[in-house]
Structure 1
Amino acid sequence: MAHLRAGRVYRRRRAHDRLRAAARAEVKSMKGFFGSLFSGGERKEDTRYGIVDQMWADFFGGFATSKTGISVNWKSALSVTTVLACCRVRADGLATVPWKLYRRTEKSVNGKTVIDRQEARDQPLYDLLATAPNEWMTSLEFRETQNFHVDLAGRSYAFLNKVRGEIVEMILLDPGRVVCKVNADYSRTYTLTGLDGTTETVPGDRIWHVKGPSWDTIEGLNIVRYAAEAIGLALATEESHARFHRNGARPSGVLSADGAIGEQGLVKLAAWVRRHFGGAENTGKIMVVDRAAKFTPVQMTGVDAQHIETRKFQVERICEVLRVMPIMIGFSGDKNATFASAEQMFLAHLVHCVRPIHRRFGGSADLFLLKKEQRQQGYYTGFVEGDFLSPALKDKAEFNQRALGSSSPGWITPNEIRSWDELPPVAGGDLLYVPSNMVAIGEDGKPMFLTPPAAPAPKPPGE
């Protein structure tokens, strides 16, 4: 009997081993299928995750498990209010500024060659950038989503629908449904996965690829994965705080009395306290009770205070990662900004956060949306960054006055300033001006006039 029992156990183990081997083979074949579908068949095994976890990580755009045990991806990261606020601030800096197509030309003014810039409204790309890249998205919505993709996934893809070599439509794609492959000659092909699951490979000139900071020059760094610890800790603290309020109770104080009151007595006592001492109208009243009752207030413990400090600390850490000043999301911490310091903070935000975003997207658009011969003809894209001064009319007036040459030689013509507000040009508005009491000094030490001074009129005879 023992021999038969041992044989049955051995056969069951063999059958179990065969099932496990078949399951591993099936998972391995699925891994190979998804790997070839989403990574061009060249992705190496990542030992940080299990086989199945890695497969789904590749499929849904990747995730990282922080040391808190919470999985962090773009969707869970957006549930952190700080990440959502920072991404919205960065997206607004890109999307709310007019974006236009210009052409730089040369023209002669008073016998001198000057550089002129005009809006290239006759080009189809102008309307795609400034108004609507497709039939269902405005330019603001398109760029807003683009910036979210770059910030949270490290890359943004847009399909370029071309007719006779000209772009007539731009369709924004989910980064998780696009795989970029660099060939041996450094040309690029992109594998797109449709909503119905079908795939198609297109050449590099049909995709507008905007990437964030990159290490391999192919894909942008996944900021969410690299900042998984900061975001995961923020998620953990929010979750623990929420569970505390769901599972625990934190009264403002405890009213205790000698002797047993009973459940019915407790209900009556609670109703009496709410009626006579509850609400703002009863603030400051003196409580008079019998049976040696005592009221003990419940104060915040050191653990609670440290919990709040941790949440504040994580706000600053996430702002550091996304290059957003905390004041831009309404968080000042322990420092109260004055009007002077707040103004400098807003200026620092424009210089160190918004301007790099403009340069990144502007340079990418010039590379992927314009042909080389168009760039040689002087076409380029540009943001109307002077639009940031529109809400501050006083600052805008002072800037325009200085740019025209109120106290130093001007570097902006009147027509250029008028173009910022969509005003038509005026005659004589293409000239630069200098203050009337300030002229250049020549090598001989004498003033250099633009026109020679008129000769004095001859005096009448006899004078």
Structure 2
Amino acid sequence: MRGLFGALAGGERKDQGGSRYGLVDEMWADFFGGLRSSKSGVSVNWKSSLSNTTVLACCRVRADGHATVPWKLYQRTETTKKGRTVVGRREARDHPLYDLLATAPNEWMTSLEFRETQSLHVDLAGRSYAYKNVVRGEIVELILLDPGRVTKRVNKDYSRVYTLHGLDGTTETVSGDKIWEVKGPSWDTIDGLDVVRLAAEAIGLALATEESHAAFHRNGVRPSGMLSVEGAMNEAGLIRLAAWVRRNFGGANNTGRLMVVDRNANFVPMQMTGVDSQHIETRKFQVERICEVLRVMPIMIGFSGDKNATFASAEQMFNAHLTHTVRPIHRRFGGSGDLHLLSKDERKKGFYTGFVDGDFISPVLKDKGEYNKIALGGGGSPGWLTPNEVRAFDELPPVDGGDNLYVGINTAPIGPDGRPRTPDPKPGPPAPTGE
């Protein structure tokens, strides 16, 4: 048996979020929770959610924060210099995983495209799956899978078995070590929480409000005013009167002109009603609710509400976005990559994945220069970065003597060994002759 009944009979649970079409499929999907019909009457799933501009903007902001930052493979190193151990790191460019993470995980996707889609899957489906093509014990390719085409079964010993449903209708079952799964926040440690289903009411109300507003403008009548005259007028007379008013008083050039009409005509202007105002307020309120669910500050999607942010407050909001939104995304994917893409032996050897978080301050040269200055020891306290590590942020080659840490002192020239050069002593008075 295939499809829904086959999954139920086999005791398997198919991940939600896949595409379903047809009236019967929607009926069964609603019954078993695939499509969630909100109280507003709108069915909510990942596809309908993305048609809401707030959900789309939030997911894009989160995906950009994940995908536009370089992701590299590093190895911790230990060297002995003058009897002391110096701990550092190097880019593990000789490891086959380095190019998959930093450049291209497969032949048709860049690293940015791969992680961008991966982020959308985690945010809207609660999980993402990638097939690890392993050849002679090495991962040579990562193939991103549609979460709706993956069936996961968890055994009693918590081992995973995945069934992949191909585009041609065929299926293939693989063991858990062949799949790289990244979960979102989880309750049972097995599946990530389905944010779209949990926030169905907020998203559904936003969709319904947007839909009703569009229908109002499509079907409603909203003139700027009404001109009424005494007595009955046939259709031809009404058309002539409307054309005369539009010709003589319509448009910006006729603004402020005095209207003089006969038959005791009365002009009544029409303005926005309280219902219209509440409708707009509801839409603004739903933007904030969806931003709360997806952990994106409204200003990051261009929405400030009724609060006008100053330059200083906006800068703090951007910093808060990096701290509370982007950094957790990096830690989630980085930790998952260390666990599923590196073996235990490789982790013991010091290999780990890392995002170049310092890339965020690269566009701000003043802040970047101030950070580098303090990190090198220019603030009076011992520095925590070496000159070569700072140069590596901009992909610059290392220099001789650039692997030492420094503490802020009076300016002094640096010798070839990377240490401050002692100035030559000044000549003193001539020695006495003894006479």
TM-score by length of 2: 0.90
1:141 deviates by 0.7
Q: Deviation digits for residues 88-137 of structure 1, max 9, x if unmatched?
A: 00000000111111111011334421111111111111111111111111
Residues 427 and 347 of structure 1: CA distance in aligned 2, closer, same or farther (over 3 Å): same
Residues 266 and 141 of structure 1: CA distance in aligned 2, closer, same or farther (over 3 Å): same
Name the structure 2 match of 1:352: 324
Contact 1:73 1:225 in 2 (8 A): yes
Task: Provide the secondary structure at the position in 2 that maps to 1:284.
Answer: coil
Match of 1:139, as an amino acid? S
Name the structure 1 match of 2:358: 386
* Pair 1:431 & 2:410 matched: no
Alpha-carbon distance in 2 for matches of 1:145, 1:434: 44
Q: Deviation digits for residues 71-102 of structure 1, max 9, x if unmatched?
A: 11001111111000000000000001111111
* Pair 1:291 & 2:263 matched: yes
Name the structure 2 match of 1:126: 98
Alpha-carbon distance in 1 for matches of 2:75, 2:194: 35
Contact 1:276 1:282 in 2 (8 A): yes
Task: Provide the secondary structure at the position in 2 that maps to 1:396.
Answer: helix
User: What RMSD over aligned residues (CA atoms) do the two structures have, in Å?
Assistant: 2.7
Match of 2:38, as an amino acid? S
Task: Provide the secondary structure at the position in 2 that maps to 1:381.
Answer: strand
* Pair 1:175 & 2:118 matched: no
* Pair 1:33 & 2:6 matched: yes
Name the structure 1 match of 2:373: 401
Name the structure 2 match of 1:117: 89
Contact 2:228 2:267 in 1 (8 A): yes
Name the structure 2 match of 1:154: 126
Matched residue pairs, number?
417
Name the structure 2 match of 1:278: 250
Name the structure 2 match of 1:460: 431
Contact 1:38 1:191 in 2 (8 A): no
Residues 58 and 189 of structure 1: CA distance in aligned 2, closer, same or farther (over 3 Å): farther
Alpha-carbon distance in 2 for matches of 1:390, 1:112: 33
Match of 1:255, as an amino acid? L
Residues 397 and 451 of structure 1: CA distance in aligned 2, closer, same or farther (over 3 Å): closer
Name the structure 2 match of 1:107: 79
Contact 1:38 1:178 in 2 (8 A): no
Name the structure 2 match of 1:232: 204
Match of 1:414, as an amino acid? P
Aligned equivalent of 1:324, options 275, 284, 296? 296
Alpha-carbon distance in 2 for matches of 1:116, 1:244: 63
1:149 deviates by 0.4
Name the structure 2 match of 1:208: 180
Residues 341 and 171 of structure 1: CA distance in aligned 2, closer, same or farther (over 3 Å): same
Q: Deviation digits for residues 352-399 of structure 1, max 9, x if unmatched?
A: 000000000000000000111111111111111111112111111111
1:285 deviates by 2.4
Aligned equivalent of 1:367, options 315, 319, 339? 339
Residues 31 and 90 of structure 1: CA distance in aligned 2, closer, same or farther (over 3 Å): closer
Contact 1:94 1:354 in 2 (8 A): yes
1:423 deviates by 0.6
Task: Provide the secondary structure at the position in 2 that maps to 1:148.
Answer: helix
* Pair 1:194 & 2:181 matched: no
Deviates more, 1:271-280 or 1:126-135: 271-280
Aligned equivalent of 2:281, options 309, 321, 326? 309
Match of 1:180, as an amino acid? K
Match of 1:74, as an amino acid? W
Alpha-carbon distance in 1 for matches of 2:157, 2:146: 27
Name the structure 1 match of 2:19: none
Structure number, greater radius of gyration: 1
Residues 252 and 401 of structure 1: CA distance in aligned 2, closer, same or farther (over 3 Å): same
Contact 2:386 2:405 in 1 (8 A): yes
Q: Unpaired runs of 5+ in structure 2?
A: 17-23, 412-418
Alpha-carbon distance in 1 for matches of 2:57, 2:302: 9
Q: Following superposition, which runs of at least 4 residues in structure 1 exceed 6 angstroms of deviation?
A: 449-459
Name the structure 2 match of 1:78: 50
Contact 1:97 1:383 in 2 (8 A): yes
Contact 2:7 2:13 in 1 (8 A): no
| Identity %, equivalent residues | 71
Name the structure 2 match of 1:14: none
Contact 1:35 1:55 in 2 (8 A): no
Alpha-carbon distance in 2 for matches of 1:451, 1:424: 23
1:233 deviates by 0.7
Task: Provide the secondary structure at the position in 1 that maps to 2:161.
Answer: strand
1:462 deviates by 5.5
Alpha-carbon distance in 1 for matches of 2:206, 2:389: 47
Residues 398 and 58 of structure 1: CA distance in aligned 2, closer, same or farther (over 3 Å): farther
Match of 2:431, as an amino acid? P
Match of 1:430, as an amino acid? D
Task: Provide the secondary structure at the position in 2 that maps to 1:309.
Answer: helix
Alpha-carbon distance in 1 for matches of 2:117, 2:297: 21
Task: Provide the secondary structure at the position in 2 that maps to 1:312.
Answer: helix
